[in-house]
Amino acid sequence: MAPSTTTRQPCIVAMGGGGFSMEPENLLLDQFVLGLCEARRPKVCFLPTASGDNDGYIVRFYRAFAAMECSPRHLALFHRTREDLREVLLAQDVIYVGGGNTANMLAIWRIHGVDAILREAWEQGVVLCGLSAGSICWFEGGVTDSFGPGLAGLSDGLGLLAGSHCPHYDGERTRRPTYQGLIAKASLAPGIGADDGAALVYLGTELYEVVSSREHARAWRVGLEADGQVSEEPIVTRFLGATTGVQ
């Protein structure tokens, strides 16, 4: 059973990977997000900041969402054309954050005040979602390739959700060991790794469920034991199958 958002409670869907940009022929996660909204045609705003407002990425967003029952738009910050960002973002039913450079995205958001607006949108019940950079950003920290070809810890996320997060947990060979190593060294707080195709669904600040667009995609709680050993525990995951998973 999908969560009800009739009370406009805060909701975040953090995708380890997937959605229109990674699975253009499999839009189960994107359809699931739309199904969380009360509106018959949800207003969806794409934030492509992490990709530097890449034109091709924006086109792919419109191509995917124009085929669904929604009203899509995007908001560019590198070539800003809107004066009142708050007005735009608070009018949405869904704010969808794309992948790319997490650190750069957070810096740009803070310069333009988008970080504070996103918190306000979340508190008002706008569904926040995204993949990769658009997944890490909601947590206190995570694993990122923002600083070069290798992976590193990032500890200045928006902090709407406690702990850390690692997307692409099964999709990139070095993600899992890097995440566990950072937790072992206490460079990152314990948190959740999500495979490509898995999405963490939070209501308020609590994990409500994990859903997936791929049958074997999972999420994992990664912690630190008293003896300094890293623990990894799989989280029950609901495969969306041939439907949106919204009942």
Catalytic position from the list 21, 146, 165, 168: 168
Spatial distance between the Cα atoms of 246 and 4, rounded to a whole number of angstroms: 10
Structure-token pair, residue 247: 């009942």
Residue 168 annotated in active site: yes
Task: Out of 132, 146, 212, 213, pick the active-site residue.
Answer: 132
User: Phi, psi at residue 201, to the nearest 5°?
Assistant: -105, 115
Q: 79 an active-site residue?
A: no
Q: Which residue has the tokens 């008002």?
A: 124
Taking 3-state DSSP, the helix, strand and coil percentages for the chain, each rounded to the nearest 5, stand at 25, 30, 45
How far is it, in rounded angstroms, from Cα 167 to Cα 171? 8
Measured distance CA(82)–CA(224) in Å, rounded: 45
- The answer to whether 196 touches 185, Cβ cutoff 8 Å, is no
DSSP state of 135: H
Report the DSSP beta bridge partners of residue 11.
127, 203
Closest among 5, 6, 12 to 204, alpha carbons compared: 12
Strands (E), 48-120: 71-74, 94-97
Catalytic residue annotation: 132, 168
